[in-house]
């Protein structure tokens, strides 16, 4: 299903149906700092350090095998110095997203975010193994945000779990097709509005909108957007295969194009997959 443009009817429908979590104040404060002519890394660390849970989550991620830092990073100011503004901001943004969802849901939000976190971390790992110009913070952010419309729909529609079950049982009908059938919208569109509301880069918002678009790689460009999309689909499939013992629904249609865009062979893909399972998912 290709979605490249949202008409006024869609916009009106989304704003009426869903309450999009507001962008957290912490991100607004960090963004204001980054707009300064000479932003201070120390000040960024001080702002993040005020949120103990965010600081702990960032340190846990940075000290994981994904980043391969030889020494242990023991405080958030060190983390900022190691990774810089953009990378730290991307990590904080993703972690804050998970904390913004609370309430009654027809799916397990904890399980959903566990899976999204694994996809984000595997995407980070793939980015570290394949030398591309894709910023690693974009991979982590996209990994967490790409399906963020799912919990919003699950919190809005109590029968949403049945649509997920139906989609998992029958790959002949994609999840977005079933969502359109039952709810007249889909999680890619809802996620796009969430990402836009959180001021994610336009390119990432578009990728969220089109992350189930099977035509996205039809015209081979090997652009940053296509490489980012390809790494996401590869990460999705690795996690899906490891957790559910079956390939992700989109993978059979996109595998050849994904490997082509990333410039890797099937043998190299399997090597990366095995390492990701060992170092990220099994960690």
- Is 261 domain-assigned? yes
Question: What pLDDT is recorded for position 131?
Answer: 79
249-264 residue pLDDT tens: 999 999 999 999 999 9
* Domain assignment of residue 43, given as a range: 22-100
State the Cα–Cα distance between residues 185 and 183, nearest whole angstrom: 5
Q: Model pTM?
A: 0.88
Domain count, the chain: 2
Least confident of 59-73, 101-115, 127-141, 269-283: 59-73
The neighbour count for residue 226, using CB atoms within 10 Å, is 21
Tell me: do 213 and 235 sit in the same domain: yes
Query: In this structure, is the dihedral angle defined by the CA atoms of residues 154, 155, 156 and 161, taken in order, positive or negative?
Result: positive
CB atoms within 10 A of CB 18: 18
| Residue 16 placed within a domain | no
Contact 80, 44 (CB under 8 A): yes
CATH of the domain at 257: 1.10.3210.10
Cα end-to-end span (Å), the chain? 35
Among 100, 126, 150, the domain-final residue is: 100
Task: Determine the pLDDT at residue 125.
Answer: 92
Same domain, 37 and 160: no
Residues contacting 227, CB < 8 A, separation 6+:
132, 133, 134, 261, 262
pLDDT category, 4, cuts 50, 70, 90?
very low
Contact criterion met (CB below 8 Å) for 44 and 33? yes
On whether both 66 and 158 belong to a single domain, the answer is no
- Burial of 214 (C-beta count, 10 Å sphere; 0-12/13-18/19+): middle
Q: Is residue 122 part of a domain?
A: yes
Looking at the predicted structure, is the pLDDT value of residue 21 above 60? yes
């Amino acid at each position: 299903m290709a979605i490249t443009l949202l008409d006024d009817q869609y916009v009106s429908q989304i704003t009426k149906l869903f309450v999009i979590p507001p962008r957290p104040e912490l991100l607004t404060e960090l963004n204001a700092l980054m707009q300064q002519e000479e932003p201070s890394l120390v000040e960024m660390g001080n702002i993040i350090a005020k949120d103990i849970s965010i600081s702990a989550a960032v340190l846990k991620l940075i000290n994981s095998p994904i980043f391969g830092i030889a020494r242990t990073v023991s405080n958030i100011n060190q983390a900022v110095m190691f990774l810089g503004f953009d990378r730290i901001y991307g990590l904080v943004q993703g972690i804050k997203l998970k904390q913004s969802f609370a309430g009654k849901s027809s799916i397990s939000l904890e399980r959903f975010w566990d899976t999204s976190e694994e996809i984000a971390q595997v995407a980070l790992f793939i980015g570290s193994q394949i030398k591309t110009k894709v910023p690693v913070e974009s991979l982590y952010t996209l990994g967490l945000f790409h399906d963020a419309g799912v919990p919003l729909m699950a919190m809005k529609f109590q029968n949403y779990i049945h649509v997920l079950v139906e989609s998992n049982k029958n790959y002949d009908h994609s999840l977005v097709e079933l969502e359109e059938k039952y709810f007249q919208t889909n999680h890619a569109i809802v996620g796009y509005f969430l990402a836009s509301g959180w001021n994610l880069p336009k390119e990432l918002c578009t990728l969220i909108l089109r992350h189930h678009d099977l035509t996205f790689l039809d015209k081979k460009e090997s652009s940053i957007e296509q490489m980012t999309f390809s790494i996401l689909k590869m990460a999705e499939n690795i996690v899906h295969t490891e957790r559910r013992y079956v390939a992700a629904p989109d993978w059979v249609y996109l595998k050849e194009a994904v490997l082509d865009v990333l410039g890797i062979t099937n043998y190299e893909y399997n090597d990366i997959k095995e390492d990701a399972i060992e170092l990220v998912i099994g960690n």
